[in-house]
Amino acid sequence: MGFQERERMSTRSSMYPTGRSRSSSLSQPRMCAPDGVTLTWFAAEPPDVAASVERRTPTSGWTVVGTTTPDGTTKLVFHDAAVDPGARYAYRLVVTLGGQRTASAEVWVDVPARLALSLEGFRPNPARGNRLIWFTLPSAEPARLEVFDPRGRRMVASEVGPLGPGAHTMSLDPGVLPPGLYWLRLTQRGERVTRRVVVIE
């Protein structure tokens, strides 16, 4: 099973050298908060063996922090609650089959020292193809993420407060925003942040 970090990585490795051809991808953390990091791996087919989750810091070596157990779906989820606010960690999956140990590409996660309302916008910006908005909420209070065109017309409005505190992403259908310039606005508890973004063909 080859693993690929969806946004940053392009390296693949064969996680199942003796089995059927498989592929999967490592998403960005679905939630990253001072009290924990949650990561989700997606596989082309339901995995049939458990994988170890290893973690390291910029100054330490790899250590096993847990395992992901197949549940019959194509999704493997791991939550790491033993994190320090403000720390930086790398994660990878490790599978051992027939005595052969194979590791996925690593992905780095920055744990926020203190959550604050922030709006990074598209990554990358300008965006082509998938429109993925990156933002952070400090609490689960009502919050709204909006997209406006240069004339001030609201193109998208979404209630994002239920996502809770932490770093999040929201994907927009490519058909919603044609190529052009847009403004993103994130509002919570009377605080507002904006970001200029561009969509290209």
Instruction: State whether 104 and 19 are in the same domain.
Output: yes
Residue that terminates a domain, selected from 65, 82, 110: 110
pTM > 0.75: yes or no: no
* Angle at alpha carbon of residue 110, lines to 105 and 115, rounded to 5°: 150
pLDDT tens, position by position, 127-167: 887 788 999 998 889 999 999 999 999 999 999 999 988 88
Instruction: State whether 84 and 6 are in the same domain.
Output: yes
Report the alpha-carbon distance of residue 117 to residue 144 in Å, rounded: 12
Sheet with 166-172, strands from edge to edge, namely 118-122, 131-137, 166-172
| 86 pLDDT more than 90 | no
Report the alpha-carbon distance of residue 84 to residue 31 in Å, rounded: 15
Instruction: State whether 14 and 37 are in the same domain.
Output: yes
Residues 6+ apart with CB under 8 A from 89: 37, 55, 56, 57, 80, 83, 108, 109, 111
Residue that terminates a domain, selected from 110, 144, 174: 110
What pLDDT was estimated at residue 32? 63
Asked if 201 contacts 128 with a C-beta cutoff of 8 angstroms, the reply is: yes
Does 135 or 72 have the greater pLDDT score? 135
Give the domain extent around 71.
2-110
pLDDT tens, position by position, 26-59: 444 445 666 688 888 777 777 777 889 999 999 9
Q: What is the greatest pairwise CA distance in the chain? A: 62
What pLDDT was estimated at residue 11? 26
Q: Give the pLDDT band of residue 12 (cuts 50, 70, 90).
A: very low
Residue that terminates a domain, selected from 94, 110, 126: 110
Instruction: State whether 144 and 191 are in the same domain.
Output: yes
Task: Give the CATH number for residue 195.
Answer: 2.60.40.3080
The answer to which of 69-78, 121-130, 186-195 has the lowest mean pLDDT is 69-78
Q: Give the pLDDT band of residue 18 (cuts 50, 70, 90).
A: very low
